[in-house]
Chain A
Amino acid sequence: MISFIVNKRRVSVDVDPATPLLWVLRDNLGLTGTKYGCGMAQCGACTVHIGGQAVRSCVAPVSRAAGKEVTTIEGLSPDLSHPLQRAWLEIDVPQCGYCQSGQIMSAAVLLKEIPHPSDDDIDQALTGNICRCGTYPRIRRAVHRAAEMMAERPPGAKPRPKPGTAGGEP
């Protein structure tokens, strides 16, 4: 039995400890927002957070999550309120959408570590995430936009109305 926390929920699974976390999330826990793309940490579609770090769950054995906190796209926010999700909606980033969970999860760690990333920082953080549709230009714009949103409203802070607008939400 391996126990860990997924999206703030404690879970225990009875699986071979070598099973990749990806398949435990998808097949045992029903969290299908995390995607399979290559199975060899080449494409980033399976990116989740373990203890706040971006991890390719297709090659991470579930044993690596034991006792730790795992966050998947479903746990990033309950209501699309994370700045990255808001920026993704504002800029209409996804095309087919399959890689976007991984893109967002990689970008989330970047923004936590570097609140105002440069283009080079974005390259560094997101080069491990492939998008076959070619949404990279919009991903770049959206990451910059999310950084702006975070600066406008630090996480946890109350919405700060701008002069001339009714509220903080777009």
Chain B
Amino acid sequence: MTRRLESQVLDCAPGMRRREFLKLSVAASGGLLIGFYFPASAAAAAETFAPNAFVRIGKDELVTVIVNHSEMGQGVYTALPMILADELDADWNKVRFEPAPVDPAYNHPVFGIQMTGGSTSTWSSFEQFRKAGAAARALLVMAAAQQWSVEPGSCRTENGSVVHAGSGRRASYGSLAEKAAGLKPPAQVALKDPKDFKFIGKPLKRLDTAEKTNGKGIFGIDVKMPGMLTAVVARAPVFGAKVKSFNADKTKAVAGVRKVVQVPSGVAVVAEGFWAAKRGRDALQVDWDLGPMADFSTESQRKQYAELARQEGLAAKKAGDAGGALASAANKIEAVYEVPYLSHAMMEPLNCAVDLRGDRCEIWTGTQFQTIDRMAAAEVAGLKPEQVRIHTTLLGGGFGRRACPESDFVREAVQVAKAAGAPVKVIWTREDDMHGGWYRPMYYHTLQGGVDAQGYPVTWVQHIVGQSIMADTPFAKMMMKDGIDPTSVEGAADMAYALPNLQVEYHPTKNAVPPLWWRSVGHTHNAFVKECFLDELAALGGKDPLDVRRKLLAKAPRDLGVLELAAEKAGWGKPLPAGRGRGLAVHASFESFNAQVAEVSVDKDGKVRVHRMVSVMDCGTYVNPGIIEAQVQGAAIFGLTAALYDELTFANGRVQQSNFHDYPMLRMNETPEIEVHVVKNTEKSGGIGEPGVPCAAPAVCNAIFAATGKRIRKLPIRMNEAA
């Protein structure tokens, strides 16, 4: 599986520009289906083309946009239809969305597999959806022009109709659909001048709000099929543990339990409905061979990481002579920063429904990784990938967890369905989800830094210790160089600060706890460390944190731009009520630029209260500022949750947290006012789902220093551990 996928990923390396070819076919409804042929890869461009369909226009005037990215809250079921509808000059009230089936035609234009992640959905599909809309529009104009025996050039389009300028004749897109379907597409289509965009750049309402407000939206956990059973799986209590034996006598006595089957991940209890399956699972007695992780603990891991950080690591960045500059610095400090394992904790726990029969396998699930899941399912089922159909449901949050390189939750569900011999939906309990691994890995950083005689930072030495996410995945070959996982050092090795001397070393570690991308990935820890340690250096040199950043970002205009605006909007330097402090952070990630200012107080019991956040986002050319505001607010809350509360710790090989009582989420009453400013410019589009996360923790920690004089160097924030 891995090798096959690797070659597929490699074939479609980033940066590849694809030529598009138009293709038409008549949809089953008699409507117009417009799509593209893309070469499968640059090498095969001449002879191999894959069809790719993004829009369907019916006689009923409905414009259905087929979206090849998963909707997990980020608004892609609205943003991509907006792009297409704009070039189409569609009537927005007639626009609908539909999740794409799994097909190479729907592969991510940059990553070469069908997936959603890396804050790339909107920008990577921007041109693709524009061209799909423009091509559809051109054909509808041709159809109208033929019908009226006029020149296409004498027709224009508006709001779902073609209009002939001279005669004022008008034909709706629906009425032209059938005729347009029979036409040969033009070789080239013209795109709009961006100044003529009608939808792009406007805060249009989301298309998926109604079904998320009346209970009708179908998430994976809601899927039903005839004869379907529900399974709950008893999984290893320690990573790497194996089933030695199990006793299901009590389980089988539970009303509604139909089958108990062993699968590679554990023992599945298959029943009529969740509750019977859960009760059956609770009654199951499993004897586990715990394996080498039986004694694993967070304490021993910290010691191991601290030891590693003292050794020489892999050079992720070497500029100037950081060591020499430390020796000659006017003043210097060193510090240790730490972050824990984190669970994605999507509100909808993992689940997957499978109907496996003979020569086909139907899967319903909320996934970010269709291509990989399909290959995994095919492998388990003994089928070809083409015999596996994945129906992408709504995702009750993703944050990276539903993009698993090993397809753990899909693979297991197919195994259960195979063993049970019936259509099955596997549901993970919250505890199962939290104990299931694929966490944001724990990281340990050591830092040394120095300032010059004027008090400005001149040198920085950083050691980053932690598990690589990419290593041992199909992405390693494409993404890793010289053993360095870019996601482990992103935001540190490539920091925007103009430091003459910068040395960043990476120490990859391995253990059986599976690591995974978690909303903003390496930036989750590297931004925290970079922005807090820079604050330490500013304090060491007796400088204002804003002034130091200004000086070091003088040649980074977009970083500087968001920094200045955030400082202005937050009233940086203006007096605050007694006991409050302001902290700031600025960080670029996923090709977008974000700065945040937090206003914080700490009560006498050490409880941190965040009163206000200002977040400024420059994501370049944007599609829907209403969705962006929501993403940036939500990202700040996601970052605050990790900063204030969360950690997964291990003792005796077991994760010690299990549910929201000991792995809390920020709640309504703790949520500060979050003011979002979106920068308007014409720069290339960047991401939006993740870039709002990294600054939240350092802004808060720097504000705590401003309010209390105490430094937070370990997350989550525990004031009693602050120095």
Encode B645-685 as 1/0 by CB contact (under 8 A) with A.
00000000000000111000111110101100000000000
Tell me, rounded to whole Å, the shortest Cβ–Cβ distance linking B409 to chain A.
16
Contact of B209 among A19, A39, A94, A137 (CB under 8 A): A94
Is B349 on the interface with A (CB-CB < 8 A)? yes
Contact of A126 among B214, B638, B668 (CB under 8 A): B668
- Contact, CB under 8 Å: A133 / B634: yes
- Contact, CB under 8 Å: A38 / B430: yes
A-B pairs with beta carbons under 8 Å apart, 19 shown: A16-B275, A27-B272, A27-B274, A36-B349, A37-B660, A39-B429, A45-B347, A76-B214, A94-B206, A97-B211, A123-B668, A127-B668, A129-B667, A132-B345, A133-B397, A136-B637, A137-B671, A137-B674, A139-B668
- Contact, CB under 8 Å: B215 / A40: no
Q: What is the number of residues of chain A that contact chain B, defined by CB distance less than 8 Å?
A: 59
Contact of B213 among A28, A94, A131 (CB under 8 A): A94
Contact of B230 among A19, A27, A128 (CB under 8 A): A27
Is B394 on the interface with A (CB-CB < 8 A)? yes
- Contact, CB under 8 Å: A36 / B274: yes
- Known pairs A92-B209, A129-B668, A134-B635 / 16 extra A-B pairs, C-beta < 8 Å: A37-B347, A40-B659, A74-B214, A94-B206, A94-B213, A95-B634, A96-B71, A96-B347, A98-B347, A101-B215, A132-B345, A132-B399, A132-B638, A133-B73, A137-B671, A137-B673
**Which B residues form the contact surface with A (CB < 8 A)?**
71-75, 205-206, 208-219, 221-222, 224, 230, 255, 272-275, 345-349, 394-399, 427, 429-430, 626-627, 630-631, 633-638, 659-661, 665-669, 671, 673-674
Given A27-B274, A96-B72, A137-B633, residue A132 in contact with residue B208 (CB < 8 A): no
- Contact, CB under 8 Å: A96 / B668: no
A-B pair count, CB < 8 Å, reads 182
In whole angstroms, how far apart are the Cα atoms of A72 and B275 in the complex?
Answer: 19
In whole angstroms, how far apart are the Cα atoms of A41 and B160 in the complex?
Answer: 48
Residues of B within 8 A of A74 (CB): 214-216
- Contact, CB under 8 Å: B636 / A134: yes
Residues of B within 8 A of A123 (CB): 668-669
In whole angstroms, how far apart are the Cα atoms of A93 and B71 in the complex?
Answer: 15
Residues of B within 8 A of A130 (CB): 347, 660, 665, 667
- Contact, CB under 8 Å: A134 / B213: no
Encode A29-40 as 1/0 by CB contact (under 8 A) with B.
011111111111
Tell me, rounded to whole Å, the shortest Cβ–Cβ distance linking B230 to chain A.
7
Most-contacted residue by chain B among A128, A135, A136 (CB, 10 A)? A136
Is A89 on the interface with B (CB-CB < 8 A)? yes
In whole angstroms, how far apart are the Cα atoms of A74 and B205 in the complex?
Answer: 22
Contact of B668 among A19, A73, A101, A140 (CB under 8 A): A140
Is A117 on the interface with B (CB-CB < 8 A)? no
Residues of B within 8 A of A55 (CB): none
Tell me, rounded to whole Å, the shortest Cβ–Cβ distance linking A87 to chain B.
10
Most-contacted residue by chain B among A98, A100, A127 (CB, 10 A)? A98
- Contact, CB under 8 Å: A96 / B73: yes
Is A12 on the interface with B (CB-CB < 8 A)? no
- Contact, CB under 8 Å: B396 / A19: no
Tell me, rounded to whole Å, the shortest Cβ–Cβ distance linking A24 to chain B.
8
